[in-house]
Amino acid sequence: MRLILLGPPGAGKGTQAARLVEKFSIPQLSTGDMLRAAVKAGSPVGLQAKAVMDAGGLVSDEIVVGIISDRIEEADAKNGFILDGFPRTVAQAKALDELLAKKHMDLDAIVELKVDENALLARIENRARETLAAGGTVRADDNPDAFKVRLDAYRVQTAPVSAYYASKGTLKTVDGMMPIDDVTKALDKVLG
């Protein structure tokens, strides 16, 4: 199973990806984790990424796609993988299409978890209030203001990726506002 999970921050991609990893025995590929691993391994593309990151720059699409290219060749990805957090832009989606075509690989599914952004924001605000009331510290990604910034960035950069796949007729959607187990059942149904 080769799968892309799309959806805004807080949509539940990580939760559902973890369940799919277990179900299909395939790795969840996070570009951040892959970048760190490539840098640590000292691979040629990892060394390129390290130079850019050490200079405080953003790693180019070319480098990220190179890291993905290397990663999907590893033994644990032989039966498939889940891309979560990639592609973030239409340019990355097109580069991924080219990469997979060169490797004679197809994606089995591109699934977007559709959510109500206002309800997501309310969830984040509630979680922050509950955490503070319990004497805890609010995680950076549970801060409502930071969440709004991430949501705005998603709308501008990543939401067009859904439209790109929809225009190709390959996008499937699942209501991400349902209870977690219901989202899992809907994903199972969409994935066959």
Is 13 annotated as catalytic?
yes
Is 88 annotated as catalytic?
yes
| Calpha distance 190→16 (Å, rounded) | 13
Cα 154 off chain centre by: 11
DSSP 8-class letter at 157: I
Is 127 annotated as catalytic?
yes
> Which listed residue (139, 148, 168, 185) is catalytic?
139
| Calpha distance 61→100 (Å, rounded) | 15
| Calpha distance 48→148 (Å, rounded) | 32
CB atoms within 10 A of CB 15: 14
> Which listed residue (88, 94, 114, 172) is catalytic?
88
CB atoms within 10 A of CB 23: 13
> Which listed residue (36, 94, 123, 150) is catalytic?
150
Tokens of 177: 């506002």
Contact 39, 50 (CB under 8 A): yes
Report the largest interatomic distance among the alpha carbons of the chain, rounded to a whole angstrom: 53
> Which listed residue (19, 36, 123, 127) is catalytic?
127
> Which of the residues are catalytic?
13, 88, 127, 139, 150
